[in-house]
Structure 1
């Protein structure tokens, strides 16, 4: 008779996500994951197949959480520049909120895994595409309401803002000077036409 799992899979994935987010894929050992989740190495392998299998689930969880948070932030009924500024500041603040943890698991995946890991590359591409779609939908709505000129190139502006978020996440790992990074956000918002 097979043994029933005696742990909450979602909780294990969440804890693993935090470990990968703090140490990166290469810097995380199976022992680190075992200690963080309270599971033995054998249980981790039995449940997730490999460190990489657990990493994929953790990265997908992170993407889902951040994409949902972004969509909620973009759905606010406020002027487009305020929505974008608040979103960028929110991402910046979340990047800086845990000392010693790099700003974004997605950015870490891009720099650490994408060049040689097709599964991670697919997850990242899908995540960036979802972010671009969310930004585009909000910008099209703002354009239809007259907040943006009718000739605004929405796809390009959406791509710029997604790139801006990822750049902020990278810079927040290097500099914790909030006022300097806020100035960068203010410069970026000039790209939103009036």
Structure 2
């Protein structure tokens, strides 16, 4: 009878996500993962199969958590207020191992190499953009933004602003809080 693993798979995925988020795909070796997760090589392969398979799981977790957090904020405070709060949430360094978006970092790192993980990151970014569009539609239906705006176009621009903000927040010479306030204020002009 096979032995039951003595680890919490979800906790390991969260730990690996944070390591990959900080160091990137190429910057994280199998030895780094085995050490951080406290797994021997055989246990690592039994649990996840490969570094790429684990990375794909971490991307999925990252994306699901981001969409869930955004939608919970929208349910709590309404779609437009959630969209206005999002820029501040994504640069809050207390909860994140890095400020730059893990999906964007992955896409930038691996897309030119034709790596499948870049495609996965791109799909997750498209899902996030669709979530933004949903909230812009809901805000439009609630009369919080004008009917002449295209929610899909607003979502694409908003995602671009958020991704730029998150990358800028990594820099010491940029006041990310001011930029977050500007992004939120721009939404009031819709």
1:171 is aligned to 168
Structure 1: any 5+ residue segments left out of the alignment?
Answer: none
The answer to whether the Cα contact below 8 Å between 1:19 and 1:28 also exists between their aligned partners in 2 is yes
TM-score (norm 1): 0.84
Selected match of 1:185 from 174, 180, 185: 180
Report the more deviating stretch, 1-10 or 63-72: 1-10
Shift of 1:49: 1.9
DSSP-derived class of the 2:89 partner: helix
Q: CA deviation at 1:156?
A: 0.6
- Take 1:130 and 1:99, find their aligned partners in 2: how far apart are those partners? 21
Aligned to 1:106: 103
- Cα shift at 1:11: 1.8
Query: How far is 1:128 from its partner?
Result: 1.6
Moved over 4 A (4+): none
Q: Equivalent residue for 2:117?
A: 120
Deviation at 1:159, TM superposition (A): 0.8
Counterpart in the other structure of 2:17: 17
Shift of 1:98: 6.5
Match of 2:147 in 1: 150
CA RMSD of aligned residues (A): 2.4
Deviation at 1:187, TM superposition (A): 3.2
Distance 2:77 2:55 in 1: 36
Match of 2:44 in 1: 44
Gaps of 5+ in 2: none
Task: Tell me the number of residue pairs that the alignment of Structure 1 and Structure 2 aligns.
Answer: 189
Q: Deviations over 1:60-100 (max 9, x none)?
A: 111111121122223334472x432211111111xx33697
State which of 97, 109, 120 in structure 1 corresponds to 2:94.
97
> TM-score w.r.t. structure 2 length?
0.86
